Structure 1
């Protein structure tokens, strides 16, 4: 049984990675319904939370059906991160996660996210401040290092465990790599093999099929797998992996009607969370992903993007099923 603090996650948990503009409550809802064991919010700016910025505050929204769920924070100032940990803890998530892995310029160039991989002493002090500021378990997501010459994640794992984190997720690329090339899990395996390491170690990067999930579990010995981009438009990947791990057989891919139903559920959650206008607007970025691979889908996608109400969109989704489903003989 893999545990983070007192949170039981099963024998080999599958985690939804925190993704900006993707892993909001509606997306987390459909991932939970399709087998995710632990999920995280989009990363939340500590500076935005301190300023009470509306976007940052809204990202604190969590719901009972999501549990267990963690709030992920990022920032460059130690004191501010500690204060934000206190704020985030008050909304009662199951854990607090620190982002030391985001590679994008507007995060890393401000000294946050993956930038902390260039200053391990500061990373340790910041993590310690967060641990001391909350009663909740604290976890960390990071990368192998800043670049090829500074792959310091093994040192990071030991030092952060020593000051109190209770799980570590590692993306198998450096910051310089961004999302290019193949993820290298060999250093993740070395962390797991280190007899000093007792906390759960989760691997992240390039897992996009059930076969690869089993291969990486067996080759690298991790305690669980965190999945990010492969879930977009494909939240059922969690159940597909679990079925394959249990039976050695692949689930039949979801039918078009099933894909439409998950998309509809996503839309319903979006409207419930943000209201009938913003909820419809927020959903627009997802239609292409749900219906990837359908030939001549563009006219329907444009209608979905232009739709203004649930009733209108629901009607278009029903048309999609009728237009693209295979006829039954």
Structure 2
């Protein structure tokens, strides 16, 4: 049984990665329904939370059915991170996660996210401040290092464990790589092989199929896997991986009717949570993924991304469902 503090996650948990502008409550809802064992909020700016910025505060919204769920924080100032941890704790998540992995310029170049991989002593001090500021378990998500010459994740894992984190997720790329090239899990496996490692170690990067999940589980010995981009528009991947690990058999891919149903639930929740216009606009990034690989879909996709009416969008989704019954679509 894998545990983070007192949180029991099963024998080999599957985690939904915290993804900016993706891992909001509507998206998390469809992933939870389809088997995600532990989820995280989008990353929240410590500076924004201290300023009471509306966007940052809204990201604290969590729902009972999502549990266990973690709030992920990032920042460059230790005192600000300590203070925002206290604020986040009041939202009653199950754990607090620190983002030391985000590679994007407007985060890393401000000294936050993956930038802390260039200053391990500061990373340790910041983590210790967060651990002391909350009664909740604290976890960390990071990368192998800043670049190929500074892959310091083995040192990072030991030092962060020593000051009290209760789980570590490692993305198998450096900051310089961003999301390019293949993720290298070799060092993630070496963390697990380290006899000093006692906390759960989760691997992240390039897991896009049940077969790869099983292969990496066996090869690198991780305690669980975090799935990110492969879940966008395809929340079924969590249950597909679980079924394959349990039986060695692949589940039948979701029908078009199932895709329509999941997309509709996602859309309806997005509109309820964000309001009609914002909810509709922010759903546009998901349509292509929900219906990826379907022939003759382009005209419907164009209508979906052009509409600003919730009622009209539901009508278009109903048309797509009807087209399914008439066998208009064939998977490419």
TM-score category (smaller protein): over 0.9
Q: How does 1:138-153 map to 2 (within 5 A)?
A: 138-153=138-153
Measured in 2, the distance between the counterparts of 1:103 and 1:84 equals 21
Instruction: Give the 3-state SS of the residue equivalent to 1:148 in structure 2.
Output: coil
The SS at the match of 1:226 is strand
Residue in 2 that maps onto 1:45: 45
Matches of 2:257 and 2:309, distance apart in 1 = 21
Question: Which residue number corresponds to residue 273 of structure 1?
Answer: 273
Q: Is the 8 A contact 1:39 1:69 kept in 2?
A: yes
Tell me what 2:29 maps to. Answer: 29
Query: Partners of 2:276 and 2:179 in 1: how far apart?
Result: 35
| Structure 2 residue 257 is the aligned partner of structure 1 residue 257 | yes
Per-residue CA deviations over 1:66-120 (Å, capped at 9, x if unaligned) read 1100000000000000000000000000000000000011100000000000000
Q: Distance in 2 between matches of 1:138 and 1:327?
A: 50
TM-score (norm 1): 0.98
| Residues 141-163 of structure 1, C-alpha deviations (whole Å, 9 max, x = no match) | 00000011100000000000000
The answer to whether the Cα contact below 8 Å between 2:15 and 2:225 also exists between their aligned partners in 1 is yes
For residues 277 and 66 of structure 2, the distance between their equivalents in structure 1, rounded to whole angstroms, comes to 24
- Contiguous gaps of at least 5 residues in structure 2: none
Bigger shift: 319-328 or 308-317? 319-328
Deviates more, 1:311-320 or 1:18-27: 311-320
Could you tell me which residue of structure 2 aligns to residue 188 of structure 1? Answer: 188
Question: Cα offset for 1:315?
Answer: 1.1
CA contact (8 A) 2:12 2:224 kept: yes
Report the CA distance between 1:321 and its aligned residue. Answer: 1.9
Shift of 1:325: 4.8
Could you tell which deviates more after superposition, 313-322 or 117-126? 313-322
* Contact 1:145/1:174 (<8 A) preserved: yes
SS at match of 2:170: strand
Provide structure 1 residue ranges, at least 5 long, that are not aligned to the other structure. none
Distance 2:63 2:21 in 1: 18
Match of 2:5 in 1: 5
Deviations 1:169-210 (A, max 9, x none): 000001111111111111001101111110000000000000
Q: TM-score, normalised by structure 2?
A: 0.97
Q: Please give the residue correspondences for 1:108-123 in structure 2 after superposition, counting only pairs within 5 Å.
A: 108-123=108-123
Contact 1:256 1:325 in 2 (8 A): no
Partner SS state of residue 39, structure 2: strand
Looking at structure 1, the residues matched to 108 and 311 of structure 2 have their Cα atoms a distance apart, in angstroms, of: 42
Which 4+ residue blocks in structure 1 deviate beyond 6 angstroms? Answer: none
SS at match of 1:149: coil
Q: Over aligned residue pairs, what C-alpha RMSD do you find?
A: 1.2
Report whether the alignment pairs 1:297 with 2:297.
yes
Contact 1:100-1:112 within 8 A present in 2 as well: yes
Matched, 1:207 2:207: yes
Q: Which residue of 2 aligns with 1:310?
A: 310
Aligned-residue offset at 1:307:
2.3
Residue 275 of structure 1, CA deviation: 2.4
For residues 319 and 326 of structure 1, the distance between their equivalents in structure 2, rounded to whole angstroms, comes to 11
Matched, 1:198 2:198: yes
Residue aligning to 1:177: 177
